[in-house]
Amino acid sequence: MSCYSANDLIRRGKTIITAHSGCENTPDNSLAHIRAALASGAEMIEVDLRMAPDGTLYLSHDVPEDIRERPLLSQLYELVAGNENVGVNLDVKTEGLIEPSMALAGAYGLTGRILFTGECWRDRALAVSLGAEVWHNVEGEETIEEGLGLILRDGSPYLNVRYTRITEENNRLLRSHGRGFSAWTINDEENLRRYLTMGVANITTRIPVLAMKLRKEIQGV
């Protein structure tokens, strides 16, 4: 169980650890993955979110052959609800999922602990009005500078990017504007050490147990 919330670490200037789907050699977007993430002590759990034609919210990166075999968002919320320092990163795969996700979050007492990434940055104002946060994904040909310009306009605190795009120089650039990087997905010790030392705002990883150990060594938390 996490000793800190993501907001605690943000205030301290330390790195949040997010347990990526399939962490610690569990199946992606599975109940086993969620339990492993909780056991690791990570501050956030990342999952991929979709909606069935009947409105059911379920966890899956791709459209599955049989939706009935996929875990439900309600099952994730139920497991997380008893861990007050743990947040949920919903990487949404289609538009229109913010309102139903937040309605369900409210039923489990998780308002204020939900982060959206993926196909949703245009709806940040809606998410914030419902008590959530949105971090902008920088993908494809979009530059870091373009992403920074966007979040300076819409108020988002972080750019969510593949870790290989983060340099000391552009990390300093974002920090000079009061913004930061969320790095995905770092799955080896060398790069965990590098980006923890750099002090990026968030690291998403499939090996959160090691990431937590290294953060304690490098950042003292």
Is 91 a member of any domain? yes
* Residue 205 pLDDT level (bands cut at 50, 70, 90): very high
The Cα 51–Cα 39 span in angstroms is 27
pTM: 0.96
Q: What is the pLDDT of residue 1?
A: 61
Q: What is the pLDDT of residues 91-143, one digit of tens each?
A: 999 999 999 999 999 999 999 999 999 988 889 999 999 999 999 999 889 99
Which of residues 140 and 202 earns the better pLDDT score? 202
Nearest in space to 98 (alpha carbons), one of 78, 120, 113: 120
Q: What is the CATH number of the domain that holds 40?
A: 3.20.20.190
Q: What is the pLDDT of residue 54?
A: 95
Residue 5 has pLDDT above 80, yes or no: no
Q: What is the pLDDT of residue 121?
A: 80
Mean pLDDT of the chain: 95
Q: What is the largest CA-CA distance in the chain?
A: 47
> What percentage of the chain exceeds 70 in pLDDT?
99
Residue 208 has pLDDT above 90, yes or no: yes
Q: What is the pLDDT of residue 112?
A: 95
> Residue 25 is encoded by which pair of tokens?
């050699």
The Cα 162–Cα 28 span in angstroms is 19
Q: What is the pLDDT of residues 18-56, one digit of tens each?
A: 999 999 999 999 999 999 999 999 999 999 999 999 999
Q: What is the pLDDT of residues 130-161, one digit of tens each?
A: 999 999 999 889 999 999 999 999 999 999 99
- Per-residue pLDDT averaged across 71-82, rounded? 97
Q: What is the 3-state secondary structure (H, E, C) of the chain?
A: CCCCCHHHHHHHCCCEEEECCCHHHCCCCCHHHHHHHHHHCCCEEEEEEEECCCCCEEECCCCCCCHHHCCEHHHHHHHHHCCCCCEEEEEECCCCCHHHHHHHHHHCCCCCCEEEEECCHHHHHHHHHCCCEECEEECCCCCHHHHHHHHHHHCCCEEEEEHHHCCHHHHHHHHHCCCEEEEECCCCHHHHHHHHHHCCCEEEECCHHHHHHHHHHHHCC
Is 1 a member of any domain? no
Is 36 a member of any domain? yes
> What percentage of the chain exceeds 90 in pLDDT?
90
- Per-residue pLDDT averaged across 199-211, rounded? 98
Residue 9 has pLDDT above 70, yes or no: yes
The boundaries of the domain holding residue 122 are: 6-219
Counted domains in the chain: 1
